[in-house]
Amino acid sequence: MMNTTLSNGHIAPCAPSTFNLAIFGVDIYSIDTQLISGYDFRAGVTGGVYPDLPVSDPVSLSFCNVSVSYTHPGQGDNITVTAWLPVNDWNGRMLGVGGGGWVAGGPNSQSYALAAGVASGYASTTTDAGLNLGADASASGWALVSPGNVHLYNLQNLASVSLHDQALIGKSLIADFYARPPDKSYWNGCSQGGRQGMMLAQRYPTLYDGIVAGAPAITWTAFVMGIFWPQLFMNLAGMYPYPCELDAITAAAVSACDGLDGVLDKVISNEYACNFDPFSVVGTEFNCSTTNTIKQISHGAAAVANATWSGPHTTDNQLLWYGPRIGSDLTGGPTRFAAAATTCDANGCVGAPLIFGVEWITLFIEKNPDFNLSAITPEQYEDIFHAGRQEFSSMVDTDDPDLSRFRDNGGKFLSFHGTGDGVIPVQGSQRYYHRVAQGDPTADNYFRLFLAPGVSHCIGGPGGTPQTALDSLVGWVENGTAPRTLPVRFTSDTGTKYSRFLCPYPLRARYKPGKNPTLAASYHCA
């Protein structure tokens, strides 16, 4: 048995016998440990959805890798919580990291986040919610317990219960390994991880002292249906544009609205003033990289872009949910990770719907993996939309604006969302902010939202993703220093480097005319 000497003087073996878990409502199957030495971590190799963990240099990590497998008696589940506990220079804090898509977390999908946490001194934890997906994005292996019946225990574990367990198990492991509990506990997640952070603040308000929730999937039952809306539109119209057409429309929108903030940097920073009409560029010629030919923007492509930006509507034209902002990525580039994506060959194009919208409808609402989505009508879509909200909203949605228990426990909540997010529209986060503020005019004392112009889903896009959200949150929790701005940097497609900052919503960074637009000092929050 190898002992590990910790910086606080405590000597603990990285062995199952070190840990004595007793969690109410949980039966432990096994505790496995492995001492990892010389783990090579290089920040920035793959940021995943955790770009803000503040590590920049290559480091060699040593940590105790603990895997706890357990069940909720009578439910037949088998969940694994993983903790990476640094053996040197622990900063006294626990960091819970979330997942993405249908993935709750787990070391296979979140190894970067776990390692970045350890590199920054955190004892890092994650859970697979018992779904055993690894990095697999599909829910097909766990959604149905039998034909026509959703596996509600699995969905419940993904939605909330495993998050509660992760925190309690993580704190217990930390207390046993370091001979004291964590001083503070933090959560960091984006997308599904952002939704998980919302759930923790709303349903389990005493588990974490601070939460970072990026691009949160707040109203899951609405936005996931919205993801399928552009595909429904294309199916009904019988037209599937080449990705290059939609990309040309996006480029035209950015060009038209780029300068509305007084700076030409290929980023729409004043999206409220952007009223670009996609039909205005019908007939415009452009070079299509997909076909290597000169093409013209078609009326059909403009209609798809317009429908996507407008968002899903009822048959009597009532808005069901938001569409992405004008200028958001419609096609997802090479990954096709976008709501209006298509795939093409020599015979033309077909729709490439995101798996989340497809499986939400087929597996959870229709409960039939063979349900034919290509044939549904607008009336059916509207019925399916409402059926999903009625059946599952209380289980998976995290749009309760009452954060008073989290507030009274001293919690701080920091959220950010890219205005160019083509998967989870930023308006959902804005809507939630206003509902919280309406119920509590002092909400800025514990809840702040930062909008990131031009940023796509969690990361990417022409704008700057916040890199210091977690550090800013720690300062807020432990020193009372509320984040007034979040610094961002980005490089334009011409190579120009920009330094900016994000302002707490509803403020935004405004350019000071005549100043150098590449410098943060040339902007102010207003």
pLDDT digits (tens, 9 = 90+) for 362-393: 999 999 999 999 999 999 999 999 999 999 99
Q: For residue 324, what pLDDT is reported?
A: 97
Q: For residue 300, what pLDDT is reported?
A: 97
Cα(317)–Cα(322) distance, integer angstroms:
13
Residues of the chain with pLDDT under 70: 1-11, 43-57, 132-136
Task: Kindly report each contact of residues 475-482 with a partner whose C-beta sits within 8 Å and lies 24 or more positions away, as own/partner.
Answer: 476/210, 476/412, 476/414, 477/184, 477/186, 477/209, 477/210, 477/410, 477/411, 477/412, 478/184, 482/444, 482/445, 482/448
CA angle, 299 then 301 then 306, to 5° = 95
| Assigned token pair, 167 | 């925190």
Q: For residue 4, what pLDDT is reported?
A: 42
Q: For residue 41, what pLDDT is reported?
A: 85
Cα-only R_g, the chain: 23
Cis peptide before 216 (omega within 30 of 0): no
Q: For residue 57, what pLDDT is reported?
A: 67
Select from 130, 354, 131, 123 the least CA-distant residue to 228: 354
Cα(369)–Cα(358) distance, integer angstroms:
9
Cα(456)–Cα(330) distance, integer angstroms:
10
Annotated catalytic residue 492: no
Q: For residue 346, what pLDDT is reported?
A: 85
Q: For residue 246, what pLDDT is reported?
A: 97
Select from 212, 167, 287 the least CA-distant residue to 52: 212
Question: What separation, in Å, do the N-terminal and C-terminal C-alpha atoms of the chain show?
Answer: 59
Cα(500)–Cα(465) distance, integer angstroms:
10
Token pair 């699995």 is found at: 154
Helices (H), 184-322: 192-203, 220-237, 243-257, 299-310
Q: For residue 224, what pLDDT is reported?
A: 97
* HEC per residue, 378-429: HHHHHHHHHHHHHHHHHHHCCCCCCCHHHHHCCCEEEEEEECCCCCCCCHHH
CA-CA-CA-CA torsion sign (333, 334, 339, 340): positive
Annotated catalytic residue 160: no
Q: For residue 290, what pLDDT is reported?
A: 81
Q: For residue 479, what pLDDT is reported?
A: 97
Q: For residue 1, what pLDDT is reported?
A: 31
- The active-site residue out of 109, 111, 124, 191 is 191
Length of the chain: 526
Q: For residue 307, what pLDDT is reported?
A: 98
Instruction: Give tens-digit pLDDT for 41-97.
Output: 876 644 444 545 555 667 899 999 999 999 999 999 999 999 999 999 999 999 999
Cα(227)–Cα(229) distance, integer angstroms:
6
What structural domains does the chain harbor? Answer: 1-181 (no CATH), 183-218+398-489 (3.40.50.1820), 223-392 (no CATH)
- The active-site residue out of 165, 258, 329, 421 is 421
Q: For residue 108, what pLDDT is reported?
A: 83
- Regarding beta strands 79-86 and 93-97, do their DSSP bridges make them parallel or antiparallel, or are they unpaired? unpaired
Q: For residue 416, what pLDDT is reported?
A: 97
- Regarding beta strands 293-296 and 285-288, do their DSSP bridges make them parallel or antiparallel, or are they unpaired? antiparallel
Instruction: Give tens-digit pLDDT for 456-500.
Output: 999 889 999 998 999 999 999 999 999 999 999 999 988 999 999
Token pair 């290089």 is found at: 42
Q: Helix, strand or coil for residue 49?
A: coil
Q: Would you say 378 and 313 are in contact if contact means Cβ atoms under 8 Å apart? A: no
Annotated catalytic residue 421: yes
H-helix or E-strand spanning residue 437: helix 427-439
Q: Would you say 466 and 485 are in contact if contact means Cβ atoms under 8 Å apart? A: no
Q: For residue 276, what pLDDT is reported?
A: 97
